[in-house]
Structure 1
């Protein structure tokens, strides 16, 4: 904006034969320019509030972008046929069922299940180990498991002993969990799979959040200076559009920050993500399946309209005695 004035001043201050700024002058110009990019117009408290809100929102979306980039490093889930083969590798059985679910908090999961009359978890674990899977020990899951049968003589429900077992396995970037609950003469064995953690989620999420916070503040500062020379009517339109955009984007950004706490907190073997808040699953019980995605698209359109309304920043005209002369 003040390029001609800066160049003219440097030319006037230059020593004879000097063709470029000294390292200290160049560093000073860089830091001063960077500080100017972050500076807000003085005496405008609403600009400060808007900058904090916009930086927070863009920071949330930056974390979601980092989360999305991290998910690109995850392995793909097995096909439906492969899931069935793995389920039958865990145990022979009948009445096979398949399901694939999309979460609003983490990666997709897929599952196969079979009904069985009995199940030997140690043998199942050995089969997966022989197939190249890295397996854990078998865990006892019997505590709290309940099953009942109807007693024809009394017409009452009689409790049955239930044996629950579980073990995990990892191979080719896929995490597999085998769980079985068996009571006398009846049981169910299920295999659930999801991508294994590649350790990329946390650093990329945090890097995206930091870059988003910085970019959001700079965007707000640039917008505040763009609005200063606008006519009153256009400035009001830009202000309203900006307020509507912030309102629409605030809820998705809040969901991203909630998901960030899930990524930072303990999650066991399941990989939580940030951007999954935009999945088709309802994020909250009172929300529609695509509410956050629709708010994101609406907010982005409103933000683009607000930026277009602000127009381009005008260039300052240098004073007459600052215009370089030739000849």
Structure 2
């Protein structure tokens, strides 16, 4: 095989950086231009040609087609994929076992109060937007709660209660802070509210505790200690899912739009009918999530931790998921999306010029 043929084949492989439809339309022209610019005896593409072809090929693959409607569709899909990607990753992380065992909670509660705990076996209580429990004197003092994602970022907790007389609460709280500090716990500031209620938080080795002493408990146990395990990687995972979703939405939408423009009328019509309801649901979801996030940001203000903001898409989708009929809508839209993708992936009918490289893209 002579030098010219070797160079020709290598340039053909290099042109795979372009999508198949572009190679079919202009592959022979580009190959001829590259060969004409080569030097006698050259067997490999120059570094400049490699960078130029790969760069232009990637731009061709992932460039949004001209037209405001194409840009609008791409933005809708990118936002939707970003929100769902962030939510999916965050909920996956949050689904990992994160609740401390009741034995762990009891051990720390006894350390903090110096008092024994009555722990009876019982079911995990699923919360909605609050965690109800009819505490009884002399009954179970330890309960595990299953929190919804939108309420507590998917972190469940265990609560230990004491029926401490209200007159003894100030000293009980002070003693708890002293004992926990001596045992290596990091103690937060003590907050005393107008009605005399006292609370503080503490953490050690990934276990967080929130202690509250109600000065006017209104029938509830005056002293309550809630325990939960921290999920330090959750915000970073949510941000990573957001970025991956943006990139996936962009690449997938551009691929569909580029192929859609080159299909015949029958395929275009079928793909359009499948894509319209999908885009409408995406747009509605984007608007609802943006409205939810703005409302939460306004209510939370600057006092909320930065990690809280990264979980807003997951919190919003968790709320939407609980709405009636969402499962049916999700299944129908998923079927329409699969149909649209299948139609876009159908072979594009076009004349292939002789000599054009046609490996699959």
Q: TM-score range by the shorter chain?
A: 0.7 to 0.9
- After superposition, the Cα gap between the structure-2 partners of 1:87 and 1:269, relative to the gap in structure 1 and judged at 3 Å, is farther
Aligned mate of 1:188, from 198, 206, 222: 222
Cα distance in structure 1, aligned partners of 2:70 and 2:218? 70
Match of 2:156 in 1: 109
Match of 1:124 in 2: 176
Aligned mate of 2:258, from 225, 235, 250: 225
**Mapped contact 1:75–1:172 kept (Cα < 8 A):** no
Secondary structure at the counterpart of residue 197 of structure 2: strand
Write out aligned runs for 1:193-208 (5 A).
193-196=227-230, 198=232, 200-208=233-241
Aligned mate of 1:11, from 35, 42, 52: 35
Q: Deviations over 1:23-74 (max 9, x none)?
A: 22111112211211232334x54323212211221122233345457658x9
Does 2:202 align with 1:169? yes
Cα distance in structure 1, aligned partners of 2:249 and 2:229? 32
Q: Is 25-34 or 113-122 further displaced after alignment?
A: 113-122
Q: Deviations over 1:206-226 (max 9, x none)?
A: 443333223212211211122
User: Structure 1: which 4+ aligned runs deviate by more than 6 Å?
Assistant: none
Aligned mate of 1:80, from 88, 102, 111: 102
What RMSD in Å do the two structures reach over aligned CA positions? Answer: 3.8
Match of 2:16 in 1: none
Q: Is 57-66 or 263-272 further displaced after alignment?
A: 263-272
- After superposition, the Cα gap between the structure-2 partners of 1:101 and 1:182, relative to the gap in structure 1 and judged at 3 Å, is same
**Mapped contact 1:252–1:296 kept (Cα < 8 A):** no
Cα distance in structure 1, aligned partners of 2:212 and 2:357? 79
- After superposition, the Cα gap between the structure-2 partners of 1:12 and 1:68, relative to the gap in structure 1 and judged at 3 Å, is farther
User: 1:122 Cα shift?
Assistant: 1.0
Cα distance in structure 2, aligned partners of 1:248 and 1:214? 20
- After superposition, the Cα gap between the structure-2 partners of 1:320 and 1:289, relative to the gap in structure 1 and judged at 3 Å, is closer
Match of 2:342 in 1: 308
- After superposition, the Cα gap between the structure-2 partners of 1:71 and 1:110, relative to the gap in structure 1 and judged at 3 Å, is closer
User: 1:169 Cα shift?
Assistant: 0.9
- After superposition, the Cα gap between the structure-2 partners of 1:265 and 1:317, relative to the gap in structure 1 and judged at 3 Å, is farther
**Mapped contact 2:76–2:282 kept (Cα < 8 A):** no
Secondary structure at the counterpart of residue 278 of structure 2: helix
User: 1:302 Cα shift?
Assistant: 2.6
More helix by proportion, 1 or 2? Answer: 2
**Mapped contact 2:235–2:308 kept (Cα < 8 A):** no
The count of residues paired between Structure 1 and Structure 2 equals: 297
Alignment gaps of 5+ in structure 1: 146-162
Cα distance in structure 2, aligned partners of 1:227 and 1:220? 10
More strand by proportion, 1 or 2? Answer: 1
Aligned mate of 1:216, from 249, 253, 262: 249
- After superposition, the Cα gap between the structure-2 partners of 1:173 and 1:295, relative to the gap in structure 1 and judged at 3 Å, is farther
Secondary structure at the counterpart of residue 167 of structure 1: strand
